[in-house]
Amino acid sequence: MASSIPTRSSTEKSEALKPCSNARKNGGDRGNIGPERAFENPELWGLRRSARKSGVPDFFHDSMGGNAGCKLGSPRSFFGDSVATNSKSEVVDNGDRSVSELKSSRFCSVVGNEGPQISLHTDKALTRCCSLEDSTDGDPGKKNEKLIALSCNEEEFLIENREGPTSKKMKVSSRPVVNTVPFDAKYLRKVNGTTFFVGNPVLEEEARQRWPHHYMKGKKSKKGCNPANDCDEDEVILDVKCHYLQANVSGCLFDIGDCAYVKGEKRKPNFIGRICEFFETTKGEHYTTLQWFYKAEDTVMKEQAKFHDKMRLFYSDIRNDNLLDCIISKVRISPIIPRVDVKSRALPSCLYYYDMKYSVDYSTFSSLETIPSTISSDSPSSITRVMHPKTSTEDIEDDLPSSSQGEKRDLCSCYGFENDSDVSLKGVRHCCKSNNVEATLLDLYSGCGGMSTGLCLGARLSGLNLVTKWAVDSDEAACESLKLNHPETQIRNESADDFLDLLREWKRLCKCYAVGIGNQRKPNLRSSHVKKSNPHARDDSSMDSEEFEVSRLVDICYGDPANVGKRGLKFKVRWKGFGPSEDTWEPIEGLSNCKDSIRDFVVEGVKAKILPLPGEVDVVCGGPPCQGISGYNRFRNFNAPLDDERNRQIAVFMDIVEFLKPKYVLMENVVDILKFAKATLARYSLSRLVHMNYQARFGMMAAGCYGLPQFRLRVFLWGCHPYEKLPQFPLPTHEVILRGGASAEFERNIVGYDEGQVRVLEKAVVLEDVLSDLPAVSNDENNEQIPYTKGPQTEFQRYIRMPKSEMIGFSACEVDDIQPLLFDHRPRKLFEDDYMRVCQIPRKKGANFRDLPGTIIDANNTVQLDPSKERILLPSGRPLVPDYALNFWEGKSVRPFGRLWWDETVPTVLTVPDAHHQAVLHPEQDRILTIRETARIQGFPDYYRFSGTVKERYRQIGNAVAVPVSKALGYAMGLAWLKQSGDEPLLTLPSNFALSNKVLQLSSSPSEVQNVSS
């Protein structure tokens, strides 16, 4: 059944931490505040009772009362609880005194419910709780009245009668205040705790404009950065009575925009959020809306974030309504600019900072182009530094509050900026590249080149000329295939470990020999005499001591290419009087007399860019092998997969990225990386990129969604410099026949349409669309190339048969009377017994070994030998129905000797086509699929040739990234490079993208494209 994979459920739970739910739940539990509500900030003015609980020493309480500017009463009354808001309030006019007079006066008179005047000794800067001495009128009902709060604008304060016959509260204001509807006092004390709002409510009209999502009566909304943001399942509170601009929590005054610690789960660290709203419900409950910051370990990185700076936070758009009492204390947070080319120095231990935004969707870490308005306008006091990547130093200083100007230089020095001018990213941030600019690509673990080939094809469709400049792989046959198709590429047949060591040594050599290349002195042409190594000679051979003259150096490597048992930096030497076949690898220590030859080689090598230097690579891609997580490996290390030598290539890949600092990174891997050992390797990969200050996101893409007859779900991880545009993931273009799925924890990372989202998809591509034009071949076919026998039957076949020049869009290919040859259309030859079995498999849909004579199927769908018949034997004496097929999956499998059919797809192309355990038989021919048929299923064009044995060619194709998938990713990266992509994680590809070979330029948005002949 065809389906638009992947469809993402809107009700899926995110794997990321959701501090909102826990904070809200704990906020109303007065008993759970406990010792975590410690005085973490000297601005926190707590209550004596709470302070005692938290173990604060007495000297702290003494210091709290010494400079209040008022005459304090007993400690018990001073540190008493605040008043619940269920008491009736009485608005008292202050006569003819103006507000300004009230602000400037240290005395004001109010009238209590009983009428007599009370002289209050107040201070205009007072924002904490204090008690009042007995009034001079001697009224016992006014004894120990307490000033609950005095707002910053001093237009309002509260007075409570603590010891009178009745509990009374007076609200004194210079303007009218809306009376509070009385509710059950016990309930409100429980939910509101020691909190109350300060000042008058925001006017209703203004509140509805600023926070409309809280006033949508009769409508349901979700919590998040706005009502349309489906980042959390809790509904927004809609029974809102009014909003406030300030609140007092345990004696500490909070403004909208302040950052605060928020009560976390029991025995776990507190959360951190930014206050966006204060509001009161119609029931009298006090709430705040918090916008969350993530700590590194709270993101998808989890335990793999342990090497991150503990003071680093990640901004998010997630907001939630929480009880005001969940707030603990203020916290200072500063935004900074991330840099990948400067080693960060530690910030002061008391200062949190953030330089990226985190989004749960596709586990995205992205740069903040601008500081959100809630930060820059509502909370200037909380911002130490605001640095916009697109602005100059002067622009940055304009955005900073005056109080922060003096701190700018300190923060610059903390992050590697020597002076203020270094803050500007002029010359660092790249402008929109011209279509004529060549971008360079390094393909690590390149194999035969499926990933880099597709990336270059897709990038050209966006208008970017991406060229594979370097490639590295340890498979010699795969390197030969890559060289055959990409002769312009510098291909190195070596391990990634050796390549990394070589890059480090090459940088040192360039420093030593290639400084000021344009001014190099003329090389000394005098040859040097050195001892030529002879690894095959005996120890007593005279050859070991014989000296030869060096003609020139022709290559460089790091490792042990001659297998002499010693790794190190080696040069390939061309000896004077000898040909290339006599070249030998010599250690650099043995070439001490050849400084001029080394200099010449390095200078010419830098000019030819035989090896990349840091900053010279624009894109690094690769799929580091992880044999340690393979399901076929019975000895997997579940507890510490990173300690497994077979998994260390992920670390090597990231080490190369860290050394070269490319603008863009794309890593591919199997889905098992998310299923094995709690996704440790995937989290580690993402964490390494983010730790290097790269933006990052990862998703899962199915090859069938982009026009291939196979499902093949793979994980892709994007990374890019903080001042580049983070590439999007391309949405599916085709329906697909579902074949398996992903880990439930990461279902939100599947690249696909959400439920209910409108989509226009092409029908699923099946085997007939891909293979029906290929000529019939036998099991014994061994020709390297054969002619086509008929023309293309489908649009896919017409595209896949394009010559290289036409497919890459350089020029139109005129092949009217020329019929090109078909390469690699030959199968791996079956053994005689297997071939005889295959010949008896019916040529029909669903046929497999169960259709061989002598088998029966029981009620449990288990295959067995027919006990009523004698077991049939082949001429070799082996049974026609082999035991391994009967026992595979306890007799329930239908894969052994399975025949594919024209209207089907394959689950995943593997490295070894094995008819014993897979359905790999051609629908109408008695053989397995050929090399070319397998390559087409992977999306390789017919012009793409392969080297090595038949077995090696199958392995290269099975290990490759499907070309249409990397093509779609290359297009997305090209748009990001050209600054034409959006900020959303997903991109809609142009119609007929899979079969397009013409540049697709955006008109005004990514969804509006036009074809432009190249």
The first and second tokens of residue 435, run together, are 């279509």
Lowest mean pLDDT among 639-648, 791-800, 872-881: 639-648
Q: Is 996 helix (H, G, I), strand (E, B) or coil?
A: coil
Torsion angle, alpha carbons of 905, 909, 910, 916, to 10: 30
pLDDT of 91 reads 35
For the cut 60, the answer to whether the pLDDT of residue 189 exceeds it is: yes
Cis peptide leading into 6, omega within 30 of 0?
A: yes
Hey, which residues does 471 pair with through a beta bridge? 443, 491
Residue 291: its H or E element: strand 286-295
CATH superfamily of 828-928: DNA Methylase, subunit A, domain 2 (3.90.120.10)
How confident is the model over 388-412, as a mean pLDDT? 35
How confident is the model over 576-593, as a mean pLDDT? 91
Residues 6+ apart with CB under 8 A from 186: none
pLDDT of 234 reads 61
- CA nearest to 578, candidates 601, 604, 555, 552: 552
Token pair 């497999």 in the structure block, residue: 848
* Strand 352-359 with 364-367, pairing: antiparallel
Q: How far apart, in Å, are the Cα atoms of 96 and each of 99, 100, 102, 177, 306?
A: 10, 11, 10, 18, 63
Residue 485 identity (one-letter amino acid):
N
Our CA angle for 911, 915, 916, nearest 5°, is 105
- CA nearest to 584, candidates 539, 634, 544, 635: 544
For the cut 90, the answer to whether the pLDDT of residue 236 exceeds it is: no
Residue 756 CB burial class (10 angstroms; 0-12, 13-18, ≥19): exposed
pLDDT level of residue 148 (50, 70, 90 thresholds): very low
Q: What is the separation of C-alpha 69 from the centre of its chain, rounded to a whole number of angstroms?
A: 53
For the cut 60, the answer to whether the pLDDT of residue 264 exceeds it is: yes
Residues 6+ apart with CB under 8 A from 606: 510, 514, 517, 613
Q: Which residue has the higher pLDDT, 41 or 886?
A: 886
The first and second tokens of residue 822, run together, are 């078909």
Our CA angle for 650, 457, 465, nearest 5°, is 95
**Could you tell me if residue 115 is left (phi over 0), alpha (psi between -120 and 50 degrees) or otherwise beta?**
left
Determine contact, residues 696/718, Cβ cutoff 8 Å.
yes
Residue 845 is classified by DSSP as T
Determine contact, residues 626/673, Cβ cutoff 8 Å.
yes
- CA nearest to 727, candidates 467, 466, 957: 466
pLDDT level of residue 104 (50, 70, 90 thresholds): very low
Determine contact, residues 819/808, Cβ cutoff 8 Å.
no
Determine contact, residues 61/48, Cβ cutoff 8 Å.
yes
Q: What is the separation of C-alpha 9 from the centre of its chain, rounded to a whole number of angstroms?
A: 20
Three state DSSP letters for 43-63: CCCCCHHHHHHCCCCHHHHHH
For residues 229 and 910, what is the distance between their CA atoms, to the nearest angstrom? 40
The first and second tokens of residue 988, run together, are 């809609």
pLDDT level of residue 170 (50, 70, 90 thresholds): very low
- CA nearest to 752, candidates 12, 227, 232, 15: 12
Q: Which residue has the higher pLDDT, 128 or 777?
A: 777
The first and second tokens of residue 937, run together, are 């299923």
The fold adopted by the segment(s) 430-528+594-812+930-1014 is: Rossmann fold (3.40.50)
Residue 662 CB burial class (10 angstroms; 0-12, 13-18, ≥19): buried
Determine contact, residues 552/574, Cβ cutoff 8 Å.
yes
- CA nearest to 489, candidates 477, 480, 476: 480
pLDDT of 989 reads 95
- CA nearest to 826, candidates 883, 765, 775: 775
Token pair 């008896």 in the structure block, residue: 840
Q: Is 860 helix (H, G, I), strand (E, B) or coil?
A: coil
pLDDT level of residue 631 (50, 70, 90 thresholds): low
pLDDT of 959 reads 96
Determine contact, residues 969/727, Cβ cutoff 8 Å.
yes
Q: How far apart, in Å, are the Cα atoms of 388 and each of 336, 352, 374, 401, 750?
A: 9, 18, 16, 14, 32
- CA nearest to 151, candidates 179, 178, 174, 127: 127
pLDDT of 635 reads 63
pTM here is 0.76
* Strand 753-754 with 7-8, pairing: parallel
Residues marked as catalytic: 626
Residues 6+ apart with CB under 8 A from 877: none
Percentage of the chain beyond pLDDT 90 is 55
For residues 719 and 707, what is the distance between their CA atoms, to the nearest angstrom? 26
For the cut 70, the answer to whether the pLDDT of residue 970 exceeds it is: yes
pLDDT level of residue 626 (50, 70, 90 thresholds): confident
pLDDT 10s digits, 560-578: 998 888 999 999 999 998 9
For the cut 50, the answer to whether the pLDDT of residue 159 exceeds it is: no
Hey, which residues does 531 pair with through a beta bridge? 547
End-to-end Cα separation, the chain, in angstroms: 39
pLDDT 10s digits, 810-864: 544 444 434 589 999 999 999 999 999 999 999 999 999 999 999 999 999 999 9
Q: What is the mean pLDDT of the chain?
A: 75
Q: Is 522 helix (H, G, I), strand (E, B) or coil?
A: coil
How confident is the model over 600-608, as a mean pLDDT? 93
Strand positions, DSSP E, 641-724: 664-670, 695-702, 713-720
Determine contact, residues 331/41, Cβ cutoff 8 Å.
yes
For the cut 70, the answer to whether the pLDDT of residue 341 exceeds it is: no
Q: What is the separation of C-alpha 272 from the centre of its chain, rounded to a whole number of angstroms?
A: 21
The first and second tokens of residue 355, run together, are 């330089």
Percent composition of the chain: helix, strand, coil (DSSP 3-state, to 5): 30, 20, 50
pLDDT of 640 reads 76
How confident is the model over 1-30, as a mean pLDDT? 44
**957 phi and psi angles, rounded to 5 deg:** -70, -40
- What is the number of other CB atoms lying within 10 angstroms of the CB of residue 645? 9
pLDDT of 277 reads 95
Determine contact, residues 317/229, Cβ cutoff 8 Å.
yes
Domain chopping of the chain, boundaries = 48-193, 211-236+249-423, 430-528+594-812+930-1014, 828-928
Token pair 């894109």 in the structure block, residue: 619
For residues 643 and 649, what is the distance between their CA atoms, to the nearest angstrom? 11
Residue 654 is classified by DSSP as H
Determine contact, residues 388/371, Cβ cutoff 8 Å.
yes
Lowest mean pLDDT among 42-56, 226-240, 257-271: 42-56
pLDDT 10s digits, 460-487: 999 999 999 999 999 999 999 999 999 9
Q: Is 544 helix (H, G, I), strand (E, B) or coil?
A: helix
Architecture of domain 211-236+249-423: Roll (2.30)
Query: Identical fold at 211-236+249-423 and 430-528+594-812+930-1014?
Result: no
